[in-house]
Amino acid sequence: MVTASPEVTNLLFKRIGYDPTQGGRNKFQPEILACDATFILVAGGEQAGKSVCASKHFLKKWPEDMARHEGFGDGLGPPLLYWLVAADYGETLKEFTYIIDDLLALGLPVKSSKVVNPGWIQLQFPNEMKPRLRIETKSGKDISKLSKDSPHGIIICEASQCDVLVFERCRGRVTPRDGWLFLSGTFEREFGETMGWFRQQFTAWQAGLNDRKSFSLPSPSNVAIYEDGWDTERLKQLKEESSDEFFMERIEGKPVPATGMVFTFIPDLHIRDISFNPDLDVSIANDPGYAGANATLAIQMVNDVVYVFDEVYERKITEDCIDIIRMKPWAQRITEGFIDHAGTQHQA
């Protein structure tokens, strides 16, 4: 797979006068822009520079896409196509404006609409028949309009305000061209559980799962606004006067676990193919059931991580289930067992 050359990226950034380190004081933006994952999610604090990161990610990916997609963006064939998607057209304005400014700073012949509802940006040289790239704004209010064309890349602006259907549709639209997806937003508690997908994806992608990566972009990292970073007096005062939940999510860009939740189950993160390791001990956990099924989980610990690698789920009496377990290849490695409190009742 072709990836963006750091030399080319640095040259482009230098040409437009952009320094992601902000004079060596910002370590977060460089880390995000150095990431080569296909899907990237940035959970940022307020005024943290999310839109700047998104626009610069596009600038980084554009040369890579020209090399990857032969016949596109060469002035002869169709243009490279990109979307700026948001819950409402207005939320695309910052990224739309930054991208225009960057292309103009590179001395390129850029044309664009005067509005973003909808809007477009196009790059076409005078002596060429077709544009080299086209960027279109899209609103998530009507997801049926997200079904046409297959962009080479999509930026979802203020993604946390979008419904999960918008995310799923965008993910589907970049698939035919093996395109990229960049999501940025701030955790939004007021939008309720329907927006929980953004929080869920952030958690699932933190470890770099399946070419997906998530980042926090805290507000204090943007020294253009918070000149003393975390030590900025007005920021320290805000922290003193705010709830821990507000400051953690809206300023630090980190999710606060739901109240009372012991464990968050995320299918993308917690379901995978694993096998019994004959060199490790096995623990079993049993729920004996009564009118329903008898369930037994087979468990191994690998580097302090719990792996449930098998399950016996039968609508049979306990003795039958024991016989089934005894036939399992891992039965001889059982060293301990745990049972639901229902095990003290008469049927168990």
Q: Lowest-pLDDT range, 105-119, 141-155, 252-266?
A: 252-266
Q: In the prediction, which pLDDT does 196 show? A: 81
Question: What average pLDDT score do residues 181-208 get?
Answer: 80
Q: Does 318 score more than 80 pLDDT?
A: no
Q: Does 347 score more than 70 pLDDT?
A: no
Output the furthest CA–CA distance in the chain (Å, rounded): 87
Question: What average pLDDT score do residues 133-160 get?
Answer: 91
> Binning pLDDT at 50, 70 and 90, where does residue 343 land?
low
Q: Does 235 score more than 90 pLDDT?
A: yes
Is the entire prediction scored with pTM above 0.95?
A: no
Q: In the prediction, which pLDDT does 344 show? A: 64
Using an 8 Å Cβ cutoff, are 245 and 256 in contact? Answer: yes
Question: What average pLDDT score do residues 228-254 get?
Answer: 92
Using an 8 Å Cβ cutoff, are 86 and 158 in contact? Answer: yes
The tokens 């960027």 sit on which residue? 135
Strand partners of residue 282? 334
Q: Does 283 score more than 50 pLDDT?
A: yes
∠ CA 253-254-257, nearest 5°, is: 145
Q: In the prediction, which pLDDT does 192 show? A: 47
Question: What average pLDDT score do residues 315-338 get?
Answer: 90
Q: Lowest-pLDDT range, 2-6, 16-20, 242-246, 275-279?
A: 2-6
Q: Does 348 score more than 60 pLDDT?
A: no
Q: Lowest-pLDDT range, 54-58, 150-154, 252-256?
A: 252-256
> Binning pLDDT at 50, 70 and 90, where does residue 268 land?
low
Q: Lowest-pLDDT range, 1-5, 146-150, 341-345?
A: 341-345
The amino acid occupying position 106 is L
Looking at per-residue pLDDT, the higher value among 188 and 92 belongs to 92
Query: Whole-number mean pLDDT of the chain?
Result: 89
Print burial letters for 253-265: b (CB count within 10 Å at least 16), e (below 16). bebbeeeeeeeee
Q: Does 264 score more than 70 pLDDT?
A: no
Question: What average pLDDT score do residues 248-272 get?
Answer: 73
How far apart CA 235 and CA 345 sit, in angstroms, is 57
Strand partners of residue 111? 122
Q: Does 8 score more than 70 pLDDT?
A: yes
Question: What average pLDDT score do residues 23-31 get?
Answer: 96
Q: Which of 150, 149, 156 is nearest to 174 (CA)?
A: 150
How far apart CA 293 and CA 291 sit, in angstroms, is 7
Question: What is the CB-side half-sphere exposure of residue 250 using CA atoms within 13 A?
Answer: 12
> Residue 211, SS3?
helix
Q: Does 193 score more than 50 pLDDT?
A: no
Find how far residue 2's CA is from the centre of its chain. 21
Q: In the prediction, which pLDDT does 26 show? A: 95
